[in-house]
Chains A and B, each alone.
Chain A
Amino acid sequence: MKKRLYLELENCIGCRSCLAACTQCGGHEERNRNYVYDVNPLVNRQTMPLMCLHCVNPACARSCPAQAIQIHETGAVLSALVEKCIGCQNCTIACPYGIPKFDTEQNLMYKCDLCIDRSKDGIPPMCASVCPSNTLQWLTDEEIEAKQKQFNLDNGKWVTSMPYLEGETNVRVNLPGILQGVTKLF
């Protein structure tokens, strides 16, 4: 059963466990590939993760002159192949979300590979495994559909970004506002 990374940004508590977990994934050389931002640090404690969305037609891969960014059969947009990457940094500029990171010492791009050694076998990525607040989840398409129904208001107000943002992505995102449609119990 295919599972996807699904984000509920409103849940984030800023613990950065996703960053710590990313360093622990095999083949990640103890470097995290994800980001967490303080939305308005002088005002409140709101935070949100910024994750690779694994675009179906990824700008990073399209921009790469060396075909160093492969797309796995699961849809995961992989980290640059060491033997192909020429370190031009096109991808870091092309990505609309600024996801690819650059290692100047190795002259190599590295990015989220959806923990491919895990996710290819259906094991949740490290970040989605540990996220204490369920901001990051690893769900089946049915579960995501149920979420979408839950969060779309009857009045037709579009409160989620699902199914996708501008272009089609493998990761599904729920923007702040997940509680808008909830009816109070009493």
Chain B
Amino acid sequence: MQKVEYRNERDKFFKEIENLQHPNETLVKTHCSYCGMQCGMNLRVNTKTNKIIGVEPRYDWPVTVGKMCPKGVTAYQQTNHKDRILKPLIRDDASLKGTKEGFREASWEEAYDLIAKKFTELQQEYGKDTLSVFSGVSMTNEKCYLTGKFARVAMQTRYIDYNGRFCMSSAAGGFLRSFGVDRGSTLPWTDIHETDCLFIAGSNTAECHPTSMFRVWNVQERGGYIIVVDPRETPIARRADLHLDLRPGTDLALANGIVNLLIQKGYADEEFINKHTNGFEETKELVKEFTPEYTSQITGVAPEKIIRAAEIYGKAPNAVVMFARGIEQQHKGVDNVSGYTNMALVTGKIGRPKAGVATFTGQGNGQGGREHGQKSDLLPGYRKLTNPKHVEEVCQVWGITPEEMPQPGVSAYEMFELMDQKTIRGLYLLCSNPAVSAPNLNFVRKAMKGLDFMVCADFYLSESAEFADVILPSVTWSEDEGTVTNIEGRIIKINKAQEPLGESKPDWQIQAELAERLGRGKYFSHLKTARDVADEFRLASKGGYADYYGATWDKIEKQDGVFWPCKDENDPGTPHMFLDKKFYHPDGKAKICALPYRPPAEEPNEEYPLRLTTGRVVFHYLSGNQTRRIQFLHDMCPEPYVEVHPETAAKYNIEHEERVRLFTRRGEAVYKVKITEAIRKDTVFVPYHFGHDQSINLLTIAALDPISRMPEFKACAAQIEKLELKKVQ
């Protein structure tokens, strides 16, 4: 039992409010299914039908105090949606792959039999590693954990990776290099509004993490500053004190330029640097070149703005450097993360309350899901497959020998390359929709189509499921329970509000049953409930640095979540990282990184003069497989568009709402033009949530970061063509 009663902070925004309780209804406390904010919500459940019928704000959740974006408000509509897959589906005619056609309903027995037969045949003929698992992190830690074990112990393949490679892997790589540990935020969100300066790079916070905004605005209301780095004047940039409107893909130059100024103007904290960091002198030398003028030449940001940004950040008593996919989805994403992190390390604005570094986690469990063994080279607790001691520890929990543990595999995009080369012939896909979300889609879709056998577990027939031979109906988040680790690194509890619809089953159950069919039942048969998986998972993480052992469900309830690391029953968890100024590298010091600038992989030229960048809108989540089916969200944003500056539009002689052809060296698509002055003249933007011929990822480039293997979604060279005949509406 925990000795001290501890509860995470409830700040000035927290108010005691009773919920409206309708007759014949119960409220189930849980969190949103979508982004890393993991807003608290109550699901309204009808006590007669036992079905989810609505949503009620959760005022008692200290991070979001009842607030939700429109995705959260309508999230409950996923569960009993008419598009749910209610029974396993089998497609016998492989020539129909890549379409919705040809599926027939089947029993679980038949589906499992077929999968076991095909997987076994493939492995007998081509070896164990001919199979692969492609997963995602919009699901609980328990499911993420078990998927890693399922791939390595039940399917016995080295090839497992996940959609975090398109989302958080650069942040992870950067933090590991700078701090020796990858917790997305060094401080709790209840600190955000109390800082004096927010430096936010590559985050459209108002649309992608909307419920951070009441805290963000409060910084300005208190007299603090907001600095935003973005090629577009997003809603947050519009009101920021300073908007650094850089060219897509030039972040590292800006970071170096600001670090240079911080050092030149005397904002460096020498004592902190000497005691707690390595690499300062080397970095100081390297950034010297990045004068405001030179930085301006590369980034396109006016020198005065760069100087002012360094001055504000340097002067601020407390400041938080924040960033998101805008800087991370580049082929130097890891360098960008370490580059901006340098600002905090050089000035010592870290390791105390109200100051630090944070990335806006994209997916609901983008943090937890990357820590527990879905990544090609990682095992639970952020252990490494290349470290024999780590392998040994996990083998003990799993009951296998180290010889049986598969070798590290390859990253998400590289798995498609191996499919194309026929090294991988079978795929088990879950919780992801790479036929929309991967870059260079013409290639990726072809690779999926060429597979000998593909299984997809999902609750809707996604664009990726269209390539499957067997579809297994999984459940929505509200039909299972488990934990998720939110944007702050706080482990929270998702609760079950309804029994699985139709014959659908949670992924952990599907995997345990399938393991049985694959002759590996003895490693999974003890896992009868989500809680069984949770208990094994906590044990497997024990002793790793992402230690969840002490984060029991009971403690999560009592404390309003538990920040990892949390080592045992008496440990309340770690809301603030590095308060003792100890970083996680062996010598306890953080690393200030000297990072030479590299331009984007594909720079504009005469043929492709525009810079194409992509991102989210507030109404949709990731590939849109869920949100495009929700009526309200569909009505608000039914189709993608291309944002173009009016001067650029004039050059091409194109008008607002006209349809144009947008193309790159890899692909093309037709989009409606949205004219706006809130974008750079040399840049166009398209949201990425749409499928089939509307996917902007048909055009994006698969230039991968050398460390994180993150593709460069955020910058490539493009061209617009006016369509000959304006399409009749």
A residues contacting B by CB (< 8 A) are 10-11, 13-17, 19-21, 23-24, 26, 41-47, 117-118, 121, 123-124, 126, 129-134, 178-179, 182-186
Contact = CB atoms under 8 A, between A and B. Distances in A.
A17 B41 CA distance: 14
A21 B221 contact: no
B373 to A, nearest CB: 34
Contacts of A178: 221
B266 interface: no
Contact of B67 (A121, A130, A182): A130
Interface residues of B, number: 52
Contacts, number: 126
B67 A131 contact: yes
A137 B664 CA distance: 46
A129 to B, nearest CB: 4
Contacts of A21: 68, 73
Given A42-B646, A129-B59, A185 B20 contact: no
Contacts of B706: none
B678 A130 contact: no
B400 interface: no
Contact of A13 (B66, B224, B235, B315): B235
A13 B210 contact: yes
A43 B17 CA distance: 40
Given A16-B618, A130-B68, A182 B211 contact: no
Interface string B199-229: 0000000110011111001101111110000
User: What 6 pairs between A and B have smallest CB-CB spacing?
Assistant: A13-B206, A132-B210, A20-B70, A20-B73, A185-B223, A129-B57
Contacts of A19: 70, 632
B599 interface: no
Contacts of B225: 184
A6 to B, nearest CB: 14
B239 interface: yes
A69 B672 CA distance: 43
**A interface SS class:** loop
A18 B220 CA distance: 23
B69 A132 contact: yes
Nearest to B215: A134
Contacts of B211: 132
17 contacts: A14-B618, A15-B207, A15-B618, A16-B636, A21-B73, A44-B676, A44-B677, A45-B235, A130-B66, A130-B68, A133-B210, A134-B213, A134-B217, A178-B221, A179-B220, A184-B224, A186-B196
B217 A133 contact: yes
A176 B70 CA distance: 23
B74 interface: yes
B632 A20 contact: yes
Contact of A42 (B59, B73, B656): B656
A45 B678 contact: yes
B68 A179 contact: no
A185 B224 contact: yes
Interface in B229-261: 233-236, 238-239
B317 interface: yes
A182 B221 contact: yes
Contacts of B19: 123
Contact of B68 (A17, A47, A121, A133): A17
Interface in B652-679: 656, 675-678
A144 B67 CA distance: 20
B587 interface: no
Interface in B603-633: 618-619, 632
A41 B67 CA distance: 26
B68 A182 contact: no
Contacts of B315: 186
B213 A132 contact: yes
B22 interface: yes
Contacts of A43: 676-678
Contacts of B17: 123-124
Contacts of A129: 57, 59, 66-67
B675 A42 contact: yes
Nearest to A42: B675
B68 A132 contact: yes
B418 interface: no
A46 B213 CA distance: 15
B55 A46 contact: no
B657 to A, nearest CB: 11
Contacts of B234: 45
Nearest to A26: B22
B316 interface: yes
Nearest to B68: A130
A43 B234 CA distance: 12
Contacts of B67: 129-132
B65 to A, nearest CB: 9
| Most chain A CB atoms below 10 A, which of B19, B66, B619 | B66
A104 B217 CA distance: 41
B303 interface: no
B18 interface: yes
Interface string B476-514: 000000000000000000000000000000000000000
B317 A14 contact: no
